[in-house]
Chain A
Amino acid sequence: MDKFEKLTGIAAPMPLVNIDTDMIIPKVFLKTIKRSGLGVNLFDEMRYDRQGNEIPDFILNQPAYRESEILVAGDNFGCGSSREHAPWALKDFGIKAVISTSFADIFYNNCFKNGILPIVLPQEAVDVLMKDAEKGANARMIVDLEAQTVTTSDGEVFEFEVDSFKKHCLLQGLDDIGLTMEKAASIDSFEAKASAERPWV
């Protein structure tokens, strides 16, 4: 998994509340054999018309926001099904952090498994960040995980909370597999012992 350290990027404002995983990535894209490549279908039904043409009004279709790396979103982001395809699609598009007043539980955890930082802040802070994001491509927001801060393009700083273990994993780029691999010596010695005791396995 990619390490998440400090990010300076364009933030797209999505004030809609209850953005669910069906909106993030509709069911029809679950037949895929990949977790990459879902970025083109991120927010598919909001982003394209029935003929597959871009809907110009949609935020990520606007020239200023096509390269967004941060989403500032309304309350209860990521509700709905548990599909890991939702963070996969966000990641593939290039979104590395999502800021909201709250997240659905499963989605929140799935983000960390996929190198995305979900940031919970109070309503007032999210309101300020939403305004800042509306300024377009010149307004770069800074997300600093080490310091646990978000800084607006005007230099206003907001601190956020994050579980220390999750923070550690994200900073080091450790997923479950990475963590288990830190215990490779235990697995190696178990394997050696087991294959001596049960060579038929």
Chain B
Amino acid sequence: MSPKTLYDKIWDAHVAHESDDGTCLLYIDRHLVHEVTSPQAFEGLRMTGRTVRAPDKTIAVPDHNVPTTPGREDPANMTEDSAIQVAALDTNAKEFGIHYYPVSDIRQGIVHIVGPEQGWTLPGMTVVCGDSHTATHGAFGALAHGIGTSEVEHVLATQTLIQKKSKNMKVEITGKLRPGVTAKDITLSVIGATGTAGGTGYVIEYCGEAIRDLSMEGRMTVCNMAIEGGARAGLIAPDEKTFEYVMGRPHAPKGAQWEAALAWWKTLYSDDDAHWDKVITLKGEDIAPVVTWGTSPEDVLPITDVVPAPESFKGGKVEAAKRSIDYMGLTPGQKLSDIQIDTVFIGSCTNGRIEDLRAAAEILKGKKVKEGMRAMVVPGSGLVRAQAEEEGLADIFKEAGFEWRLAGCSMCLAMNPDQLAENERCASTSNRNFEGRQGYKGRTHLVSPAMAAAAAITGHLTDVREMM
């Protein structure tokens, strides 16, 4: 047998049909659904008299447009469009008999946090969701990517997706990370090195010692942002850490099935002499705590650096950088650590898990949020929130002056009322710093949870290593 990459192996195990032109029907093992991109898809089923082919493999949870303030079980406390979208998901989940975690359920949360937490996401699976950050699930060695509304309907009806195969890309992070450097810094640094289109047409496999050393949560942070590098999906080969994380989760296999699953999962790695269409290597030691200065995730630099001069770029990027710096209200040459911050947001499917909250709380312990600043923590799920309360993290946040919110996407996409005001500047643990992403004319600097906590204390972007 010819050597295969991990991606090749998962792909081959899921082709249900292949046409002469290479177009395949890829079988989908898990379909995650949320309230914003699914209503038209369900309605399409209704209009054509179709059903959900595999309701048991379909999991729904409202997250994008829900309030993160108390009392949200009552639709009266939601904005009208949010209440309508949530009610539609309630109805659709019931009518089509799919798994569902309503806002009143402690297991509710961001779809990409709920999936792994409940053991829906397992190694070697194909996972899709009408949200581009579905790549998160790649941390388990699952082939996971975002889809559009028409495709959501296609998967609901047929449990397959019409796909052509992508190319293989290897991103290797060698060696050890230095203190204060996190998974977020790895993933941002990779995008900084490859650009936002560097992964276009590829599925990335992250590997190397620094990736192996990461916890499952860190690996999820890395894969989450594969899409920001333009890739269709990001993958990490499963190992003992993966199996340990999965074992005992509510929907993970048990007993003999567990043994059978484990035997297959252990074959899921890229063969030594597998072919790679593109290879990128970064040294773990070279990665620093980073921040974004512009309006694209590739606009990333070590915190010790300065705002770049647009002329230092090439081609179309010169104009883009000018526009970014202007939008962000910065001056070339300005030290990144001098940038004053108004708001801190800790949360999202990139950094809303328990380890993220621990890392931020570690820095915040016994300290206060700088006066006049707004700071909020939005745990990724109700269970993360409960655990943080049990571990005393919630108290640290509250005592420091953070708002302690309910689970949801919140200010990651600012579809609910959690938004930046015009020109408000935010240190955010989310994944997109696009113009207007966190609110009209809002300014976003992407950082790790520890860096966000540091900025909350000092009121400006801060090198977390000075506080350790």
**Chain A residues in contact with chain B, CB under 8 A?**
1, 31-36, 84, 88, 113, 176-177, 180-181, 183-184, 186-187, 190-191, 194, 197-201
Contact residue among B29, B50, B84 (Cβ-Cβ distance under 8 Å from A177)? B50
Q: Contact between B40 and A177 (Cβ–Cβ < 8 Å)?
A: no
Q: Contact between A177 and B158 (Cβ–Cβ < 8 Å)?
A: yes
Q: Contact between A191 and B27 (Cβ–Cβ < 8 Å)?
A: yes
**Is B125 located at the chain interface by the 8 A CB criterion?**
yes
Q: Contact between A33 and B154 (Cβ–Cβ < 8 Å)?
A: no
Q: Contact between A198 and B264 (Cβ–Cβ < 8 Å)?
A: yes
Apart from the given pairs A183-B17, A187-B16, 8 other A-B contacts in the complex at a CB distance below 8 Å:
A84-B40, A113-B150, A177-B153, A184-B158, A187-B27, A190-B17, A194-B13, A201-B122
- Using Cβ atoms and an 8 Å threshold, which residues of chain B touch A177? 48, 50, 153-154, 157-158
5 A-B pairs with least C-beta separation? A33-B39, A200-B253, A190-B16, A186-B17, A31-B81
Q: Contact between A180 and B257 (Cβ–Cβ < 8 Å)?
A: no
**Is B260 located at the chain interface by the 8 A CB criterion?**
yes
| 19 A-B pairs with C-beta separation under 8 A | A33-B39, A33-B40, A33-B43, A34-B39, A35-B40, A36-B43, A113-B150, A176-B150, A177-B50, A180-B154, A180-B157, A184-B158, A190-B16, A190-B27, A191-B27, A194-B27, A200-B122, A200-B258, A201-B57
Q: Contact between B149 and A84 (Cβ–Cβ < 8 Å)?
A: yes
- Using Cβ atoms and an 8 Å threshold, which residues of chain B touch A1? 48
**Is B159 located at the chain interface by the 8 A CB criterion?**
yes
Most buried by B among A88, A194, A201: A201
Min CB distance B155 to A, Å, is 10
Q: Contact between B158 and A180 (Cβ–Cβ < 8 Å)?
A: yes
Nearest chain A residue, comparing its CB with the CB of B125? A201
**Is B247 located at the chain interface by the 8 A CB criterion?**
no
- Given A113-B150, A177-B154, check contact A199 B257 (CB 8 Å): yes
Count A-B contacts at CB 8 Å.
80
Most buried by A among B48, B122, B158: B158
Question: Per-residue CB proximity of B96-116 to A under 8 Å, as 1/0?
Answer: 000000000000000000000
Assembled-state Cα–Cα distance A16/B47 (Å): 33
- Using Cβ atoms and an 8 Å threshold, which residues of chain A touch B264? 197-198
Which residues of chain B from 18 to 52 have any CB-CB distance to chain A below 8 Å in the complex?
25, 27, 29, 39-40, 43-44, 47-48, 50
**Is B160 located at the chain interface by the 8 A CB criterion?**
yes
Q: Contact between A191 and B50 (Cβ–Cβ < 8 Å)?
A: no
- Using Cβ atoms and an 8 Å threshold, which residues of chain B touch A113? 150
- Using Cβ atoms and an 8 Å threshold, which residues of chain A touch B154? 176-177, 180
- Using Cβ atoms and an 8 Å threshold, which residues of chain B touch A197? 264
Q: Contact between A191 and B158 (Cβ–Cβ < 8 Å)?
A: no
- Using Cβ atoms and an 8 Å threshold, which residues of chain A touch B258? 200
Nearest chain B residue, comparing its CB with the CB of A199? B257
Most buried by B among A176, A181, A183, A200: A200
- Using Cβ atoms and an 8 Å threshold, which residues of chain A touch B359? none
Assembled-state Cα–Cα distance A104/B66 (Å): 35
Min CB distance B123 to A, Å, is 11
Nearest chain B residue, comparing its CB with the CB of A178? B48
Q: Contact between B25 and A180 (Cβ–Cβ < 8 Å)?
A: yes
Assembled-state Cα–Cα distance A41/B15 (Å): 42
**Is B193 located at the chain interface by the 8 A CB criterion?**
no
- Given A177-B153, A190-B16, check contact A183 B261 (CB 8 Å): no
Min CB distance A138 to B, Å, is 33
Contact residue among B15, B47, B159, B261 (Cβ-Cβ distance under 8 Å from A200)? B261
Assembled-state Cα–Cα distance A34/B85 (Å): 10
**Is B88 located at the chain interface by the 8 A CB criterion?**
yes
- Using Cβ atoms and an 8 Å threshold, which residues of chain B touch A200? 122, 252-253, 257-258, 260-261
Min CB distance A95 to B, Å, is 17
Min CB distance B275 to A, Å, is 26
Most buried by A among B154, B160, B264: B160
Assembled-state Cα–Cα distance A178/B160 (Å): 12
Assembled-state Cα–Cα distance A109/B19 (Å): 21
- Using Cβ atoms and an 8 Å threshold, which residues of chain A touch B318? none
- Using Cβ atoms and an 8 Å threshold, which residues of chain B touch A183? 16-17, 25
- Using Cβ atoms and an 8 Å threshold, which residues of chain B touch A35? 40, 43-44
